[in-house]
Structure 1
Amino acid sequence: MNALCNVILRFRRAVLFLLLQTVLLPLHAQFEHYISLGNREGMPSNNIYQLLEGTDGFIWIGTNRGLVRYDGRTFRVFTTRDGLPTNDIWQMEITPDGKVWFISRSKRWGYIWKDRVYSFQAAEGTIPSSSFFFIDRDNLRFEGGKRQNTLLSGIFALRDNVWQFEDSLAYPESIRGVGLDMRGLILPGRKVMYTGTDPVYITDFENNRLFTLRNKGNGPMLTSFREVGLGRLWDGYLLMYMSRESATLFNLRDKSFVSRKLFDSSETQVFQGFAEYQRYGAHYFQGSKYNQFVIVDSNLNFIEKHNFPEIYPAAHILKDRGGNYWMAGPQGGLTVFPHYSLDVQRYFNGEKVTIVCQTGKELIVVAGGNTPYVRTNGDTLFKRIKHTIDFVISVNSYAPENLYYMGGRLGTLYGNDLHNLREVRYTYVNVKSGLRLPVHPNIKDMIRLPDGSYMALSGSRLHFFDRNLQTRYDIVYGPGRHYIYGARKLLYWNNTLYIGGDGMYRLHNDSVQVVPGLPESMQKGILYLLPFSKEYMLVGTDGSGVYLYDGAQRAIPVAGSEGFVINKIVLRNRAMWIATDNGVHRIEAGPDGHSSYLAESFYMEDGLLSNNVNSIDFTGDTLWAAHDQGLVALNLSRGKYRTSIRPFLDTRDIYRINDSTYALTYGDLENIELDFGVLALPVQKYMTYSFKLGENAGWFTSATTTLSLGKMNPGEQYIYFRAADQHGNSGQFRLLLQVRPLWYQTFWAKAGLVLLIILLATGVTLLLRLRAERRQKAALSLKGRMSELELQALRSQMNPHFVFNSLNAIQFFVIKNKVELSEAYLAKFSKLVRMFFEYSRYDSLLLEQEIDLLERYLEIEKLRFEDKLSYRVEVDERIDTEEMEIPSMILQPIVENAVNHGIFHKRGNGRVEVVFTYINDNSVHVQVKDDGVGIHAMREMYRNDTRNYRSRSSEVLKERLKILSENKLSKWQVKYSIRDLGEEDPGLTGTQVDIEFIYKAERDAR
């Protein structure tokens, strides 16, 4: 049973092998589309030693000007400035952890990892070489030698940042000896593998045979390691080497090997003596020699085998995981065949193709500007359609009748058989200078009308033909008997004939009329007309894109077509395909019937021969594009242009924590500038970029991959970066941006600050409340004291002497029978008493009230003293007595003292003067002066007189003035002084009181 199963398994493998040979071995013609990359695109040199694909998908290129990493857009060059020991890097190896190891003619070898170069010195006296590499998961070891008394052969391994020499043996003739059949290779683990005609076996360093390897195939066995190029051992058990044409694969785990010839014989070239190879995935291997490329499985069975076009003598060919083929050499730079190259076919190379038209069963093209060709669907060849009408310009068909009709310079072709079309020629006579000159129509466009007749456009002339394309009549002139300038395209739509040229025209009652009201951009040139719906036609312009036009005056620009020269429009699967001067574009219509968006674009990088496309059409999923350089067919089957797009953070500084986190402290950078990259192979010429700040924010587009954020506030912010190519493939990257706060911006600092503010606010509030309570108590106490003093002042004003003297005066006037005078005195006295009691309720009085009070008081005293007393009250005219206020019960006691203590005790007449002087709007100076006995005389009198009650009013006045001046709650500041006039002039007597009232705040209107 096991034997039967093995037979069946071998049979299935054989069948699969034959199928793979048949299906996966395309001719080199299938690789006609490629993209060249060189110095102009950023390559430091066209002298390329090696191509590798990194574990992260980047393409690594070894050159004589440094190591290069390519992401599809940017060539990142590593040189001695970055830490390489030399720029001439001729060998690379990549370990599974992503390190790119470099080997050069230097004693410092190392690797590049995460955009940093690490290089390490070889141990003293050692001789590194690069014949065999031992590739582990995160480390690279290689063969080398050390010259001691004798030459030692061993393995170099990186230990303690130095390339150490280990597992060594003396270098006898039995190992790599010259002229012997058997050759040995030192393996890790102190083993040696010997190859020969038969058998291949493994020994230890003591020459004890461990096991023998069996040959699973019948291919040629290499008899010497001197006949091979580089050898590689992967994962400790899978060893491979190649000669010029063959490969041998050893599996030390199942103790077997297999050999096979992989490449055709060819002449040896100086820059490639041996074939190159690399691992391709976990189970396959790829190899190349010159322009030959293969992929084989673990039994060296072919999976792919290609002969690439000899653009230049290639020495290195690599297939990446995305299916792109990379080719390079020492002379031609870098060339990439995109993964869709196998699906790009070229025809009519070097010929101008003007028309491509799919009729339903056939594809018709016009090449060379003259000859139409037909390709039946399913066929691979184009067959020429014979004719003599010269320069075919218009090709059309009418499917219901299987009818074809074409227009050219000399006439028309029509019929049901493309290889037997009927020709109709037309000649017109133009009379010029008396000569009858024949003129050919030179038909530019031709359409079939609903009644089966035809209409053709020839420069400024409209031709009407019957069903047999015989001339019915012509319309020679356009509107106003002028030419139809620039006429190029005809369209019969909604029972109206439209003509596109330098503007839009329509035919009405055999008269060509200009369509009014069109946008100026449509009037510059109309190149194509096509029905879109019952409501709109499509109008392709010369540089203004496509418009939806309702046939009247409404023209809607089609989004995504702006700025293009529209050479042709094709409607397919509800999408609008446009051939332009800058590629082919697919525009999808919106659900409302007139909105649209650009969904996909195709350019030279996608397989077009140039970005200027003359015409397009479809057969199934194949897009045919006509160019001045030929015709190209692109297979647009689902997924053909699908590719991986992987954005990443390209900024590498001290703030980059890992691949998706960027962290710094507030203030470290005045402007946070983040550089992003995109890994998208093979090229990224038409990539678009957009950003958004936060999950719920909106996307905004950017012309670059750099984002400037300025000085960000502390906190965390997700930055989203999105890249999309011209085919709708896109990738998104999310970066966590962390801005750490300074110590005073932290939560605890803010919480502590808030707590401190609360404590301070509470303390201040309590303090203010305590001070307010104290002030309130002080104010109450002061108010009580002021009330007491005011009462005392009132008492002083109403002292018994004043009342007694006033009553005596009244009595005296009555006795003397001076009734009128006594009545007047009594009235004045009663009025003054009422004023005393009324004004005593106020803290302050208007100056006019105070002056009135003083004058009334002095008037009563004048009646009492008669001629002995004279007085004068003078007010500065600058003083606004109706607005200015002064404290109440201040001046009257002073004036009373002047009368009762100065004039009363004077022998002879006396005088009292009260003068109010303006200082400013808030200050007034009052001077009370008498020519009485003076202060010193009065004090002497009081000292000898026990009745000193009069002195009490002065004490009350002084205390009130002190409270007004020193109390902060008072709104007044009062300056008070008193002096004896005799102190300045002994010849004078009397007293002068100066008092200044200063209002601390703006006065309130009373």
Structure 2
Amino acid sequence: MLKLQNGEFIGGINSPLIFNKNLELVSNKTSKNIITQIFCLSQDNFETIWIGTLTGLYKIKDYNYEDVSKITDRGLLLNTRINHIVIFDDQGAFLATHGNGLLFNSIDQNHTHNLTTQDGLSSDLINRIYLENDSTLWLATNNGLDKLTFEITDSEIKAKEIQSITTADGLHSNYIYDVIKWRDEIWVATQSGVNYFKPEDVTVPDYTPPIYFDSIRASGKNILSESMINLDHDENDLNFHYTGVSYRKPTNKEFYKYALIKDKQDTSWVYTNDRSIQFTNLERGNYHFIVMARNKYNKWSEKPAEFGFTVLPSFFQTLWFKLIVGFSLLLTFLTVYRSRIKRLERKEEFRREIDEAEFRVKKAELNALRNQMNPHFIYNSLNSIQNFIFHNRPERANFFLSKFSRLMRTSLDMSKLNLVEIGEEIRFLEDYLALEELRFENKFESTISVSEDIDQEMQIPPLMIQPLLENAIKHGFKNLKKGGLLDLNISIKDNTLSIIIQDNGSGIPATAEGNDRIENRKSFSTNIIKDRLKVINSTLKFPVADLKINHKKTKFNKGTYVELVLPLNK
């Protein structure tokens, strides 16, 4: 039963019962949240009532006995039997648990931390707690009495020193029911009687257990005599056998702890009672093995047993091997790369030879086609001269012949070239049209217009426009006595050179519409132009050269519309 700060008393077995100052039952109407056995009660300075039960920790605030709530934590440390509660100032409460060691729960119940046998306690089953001062606790366990020197930091309990007292020190039994301090002496209720002693009589000896290696074997070979040794890659199975000497060994904690540190990396301690440890298939690297022993007072060996060794890499793991492999791979890559480059170069050279051969063939074809233009032009011109002679007009024939000879020389010069300047081609066409107007005695008139954005030095294939003009004169004006009109327009359209020839002649017969007039009349010159355009297109990435001859509405509302499209050559 616990006397509360308001003068009332609280007690009970399965649920809290409230009594007045005269110990008369006041109320048993508490919450039904507690349906298990109650082991301990306590109240802090904030008048919160702490209740330790078989299944955990509960609380009552502001004397609201009907509102009993369970305290929980993330680690489920509180989900165990609470044997005893000791309030620690205004910071929290120490809890003696049945399996989770010593717990500290903050006053706001938001933080829970514990100490166990891993931290040096004699047991995780604690029956009672006695708080001697703000840094010392006595813990009654089922495996002896512990004196704990502690500190609280950030709601966590930290053990500074733990002293264990057992039957080896004179206790009647290691099972301790309770512990208190009375008349400056510690009184201990054990399973076999009561012991008492002065706290200052409990001292921890400076003695720590010595430890040494009995043997160290690498793949069956004893290497203990060496303090630092290099092992081959196939000697990577090691066995350490060691002995620690202590006349007061811990009864409920591991006697040894060891660590194998590789390449100075951080590692954790491993606790054991075994006197030997085996490591197999260790990877290459530098290792340091450390082992220590402790006494019952949790004092570890002042000088641990240590052994350093190195597992050497295999030849395939050495830097030299990696460099050789890397160099070999690089050399292979360079050889393959150079071989591929040479193969591509030979392929490119072969392709270039083919292109050059094709170019020479196409050039020869163009020369042949241009050479076919010359006799055709000569044939038509000689017919005109012959016509003057037959009509007994020698003056006209002589004048025409002199003009023709100059035109012929120009034509011969052009036939030797792949390209000529457009200005030179236009002057040639002007001379030709002047002769034709003279030959046909003003039967027609001609005009030539050139767009201002055309550079006079722009180059075009020679002798391709004249045959088209000749066809318009010969066939378009065949049935005209006079009044014929012939228009030549040169401009840039859609990044190509557009040459348009229009006349007001008879046009294409209706039965041949859609086909060019010259094909119907089996014009030799037009076929040559088309062949030349095919050769020109074969040299272009995007063929644009074309010849369009059709019957459509011209600027004269009748006649024939012809368009020659050539690539731009600046």
Question: Match for 1:831 among 519, 522, 530?
Answer: 530
Q: Is the 8 A contact 1:566 1:579 kept in 2?
A: yes
User: Which residue of 281, 285, 288 corresponds with 1:718?
Assistant: 288
Residue 680 (structure 1) aligned with residue 245 (structure 2): yes
Structure 2 equivalent of residue 570 of structure 1: 130
Structure 1 position 543, deviation (Å)? 4.2
| SS of structure 1 residue aligned to 2:24 | strand
**Matching of residue 602 in structure 1 with residue 164 in structure 2:** yes
What residue is the counterpart of 1:496 in the other structure?
A: 47
Aligned length: 388
The aligned counterpart of 2:402 is none
Query: What is aligned with 1:728?
Result: 298
Residue pair 1:692, 1:698 contacting (<8 A) in 2 also: no
Q: Which has the higher helix share?
A: 2
Q: Structure 1 residue 629: deviation in Å?
A: 1.6
Residues 456 and 712 from structure 1, CA distance in 2 versus in 1: closer, same or farther, beyond 3 angstroms?
closer
> Could you tell me how far 1:825 is from its partner in structure 2?
5.0
Between the aligned partners of 1:488 and 1:547, the Cα distance in structure 2 is 16
Shift of 1:836: 0.8
How does 1:294-313 map onto structure 2 within 5 Å? none
What residue in structure 1 maps to residue 141 of structure 2?
Answer: 580
Amino acid at match of 1:518: I
CA distance in 1, matches of 2:31, 2:69: 17
- Post-superposition offset of 1:538: 2.6
Q: 1:558 aligns with which of 94, 100, 114?
A: 114
CA distance in 2, matches of 1:525, 1:539: 10
What amino acid is aligned across from residue 68 of structure 2 in structure 1?
Answer: V
CA distance in 1, matches of 2:78, 2:285: 53
Question: Taking structure 1 as reference, are residues 761 and 541 closer, same or farther at Cα in structure 2, changes over 3 Å only?
Answer: closer
SS at match of 1:658: coil
Code of the residue aligned with 1:738 in structure 2: it is: T
Structure 1 residue 463, shift from structure 2 partner: 5.8
| Deviation of 1:744 (Å) | 4.8
Is the contact between residue 717 and residue 738 of structure 1 (CA under 8 Å) also seen in structure 2?
A: yes
Structure 1 pair 568–774 and aligned structure 2 pair: CA distance change class (3 A): closer
**Could you tell me whether the CA contact under 8 Å between 2:9 and 2:23 is conserved in 1?**
no
- Counterpart check, 1:689 vs 2:257: yes
1:565 deviation in Å? Answer: 3.8
The yes-or-no answer on 1:478 pairing with 2:28 is yes
TM-score normalised per structure 2: 0.53
628, 632, 642: which one aligns with 2:191: 628
The superposition leaves residues 61-82 of structure 1 with CA deviations (integer Å, 9 ceiling, x where unpaired) of xxxxxxxxxxxxxxxxxxxxxx
Q: Offset at 1:740? A: 2.5
Q: Deviations over 1:31-56 (max 9, x none)?
A: xxxxxxxxxxxxxxxxxxxxxxxxxx
Residues 796 and 579 (structure 1 numbering): CA distance in 2 closer, same or farther, change over 3 Å? same
Counterpart Cα distance in 2 of 1:481 and 1:765: 86
1: CA distance between counterparts of 2:353 and 2:12? 120
- Cα distance 1:530–1:745, how it changes in 2: closer, same or farther (>3 A)? closer
Q: State whether structure 2 residue 203 is matched by structure 1 residue 643.
A: no
The CA distance in 1 between the partners of 2:167 and 2:225, in whole Å, is 34
Q: C-alpha distance in 1, partners of 2:107/2:376?
A: 123
**2:88: which partner in 1?**
532
Give RMSD over aligned pairs: 5.0
Indicate which of 515, 529, 533 corresponds to 2:68. 515
C-alpha displacement at 1:534, in angstroms? 1.6
- Matching residue's letter, 2:289: I
Tell me the TM-score normalised to structure 1 length.
Answer: 0.32
Which residue in the other structure is 2:232 paired with? 665
Quickly say closer, same or farther: Cα 1:764–1:581, change in 2 above 3 A.
closer
Number of the residue aligned with 1:700:
268
SS at match of 1:736: strand
Which residue of structure 1 lines up, in the alignment, with residue 397 of structure 2? none
Determine which of 358, 363, 384 is the counterpart of 1:790.
Answer: 358
| Cα contact 1:457–1:488 (8 A) shared by 2 | no
From 740, 746, 754, give the equivalent of 2:323.
754
Return closer, same or farther for 1:692/1:589 CA change in 2, 3 Å cut-off.
Answer: farther
Name the CA distance, whole Å, in 2 between partners of 1:507 and 1:802: 117
**Distance in 2 separating the partners of 1:824 and 1:726:** 124
Matched-pair contact (CA < 8 Å) for 2:260–2:289 = yes
CA distance in 1, matches of 2:20, 2:182: 32
Q: Kindly, what percent of the aligned residue pairs are identical?
A: 13
Match of 1:616 in 2: 179
Q: Is the 8 A contact 1:624 1:632 kept in 2?
A: yes
Per-residue deviation, residues 192-235 of structure 1 (Å, max 9, x unmatched): xxxxxxxxxxxxxxxxxxxxxxxxxxxxxxxxxxxxxxxxxxxx
Contact 2:213/2:243 (8 A) holds in 1: yes
Structure 1: unaligned runs, 5 residues or longer: 1-444, 466-471, 857-1006
Which secondary structure does the structure 2 equivalent of 1:804 belong to? helix
Match of 1:283? none
CA 1:492–1:760: 2 relative to 1, 3 Å: closer
Secondary structure at 2:176's aligned position in 1? coil
* Alignment-derived partner of residue 739 in structure 1: 311
Change beyond 3 A, Cα 1:507–1:772: closer
Distance 1:775 1:524 in 2: 81
Amino acid at match of 2:85: L
User: What's the secondary structure of 1:832's corresponding residue?
Assistant: helix
Q: Distance in 2 between matches of 1:570 and 1:609?
A: 19
For 1:755 and 1:554, the matched residues in 2 are separated by 62
| Partner SS state of residue 479, structure 1 | coil
Q: 1:621 to 1:654 in 2, by over 3 A?
A: farther
Deviations 1:57-110 (A, max 9, x none): xxxxxxxxxxxxxxxxxxxxxxxxxxxxxxxxxxxxxxxxxxxxxxxxxxxxxx
Give me the whole-angstrom Cα distance separating, in 2, the residues matched to 1:709 and 1:620.
Answer: 56
Q: Which residue of 2 aligns with 1:887?
A: none
Distance 1:754 1:590, change over 3 A: same
In the alignment, is the contact (CA less than 8 A) between 1:691 and 1:720 conserved in 2?
Answer: yes
C-alpha contact (below 8 Å) 1:648/1:676 kept by paired residues? yes
What are structure 2's unaligned runs of at least 5 residues? 381-469, 479-516, 548-570
The one-letter amino acid paired with 1:532 is F
CA drift of 1:666 comes to 0.8
Q: 1:619 to 1:507 in 2, by over 3 A?
A: same
- Give a deviation string over 1:889-928, Cα, whole Å, max 9, x none: xxxxxxxxxxxxxxxxxxxxxxxxxxxxxxxxxxxxxxxx
- Quick one: structure 1 residues 620 and 780, their matched pair in 2 at CA, closer, same or farther if it must change by over 3 Å? farther
Task: Determine the structure 1 residue equivalent to 2:455.
Answer: none
Shift of residue 624, structure 1, vs aligned partner:
4.8
Given that residues 463 and 475 in structure 1 are in contact (C-alpha distance below 8 angstroms), is that contact kept between their aligned partners in structure 2?
yes
Question: SS of the counterpart of 1:691?
Answer: strand
Letter in 1 for 2:534: M
Partner deviation per Cα, 1:398-432 (whole Å, 9 max, x = no partner): xxxxxxxxxxxxxxxxxxxxxxxxxxxxxxxxxxx
Shift of 1:540: 3.0
Q: CA deviation at 1:679?
A: 0.6
Write out aligned runs for 1:4-153 (5 A): none
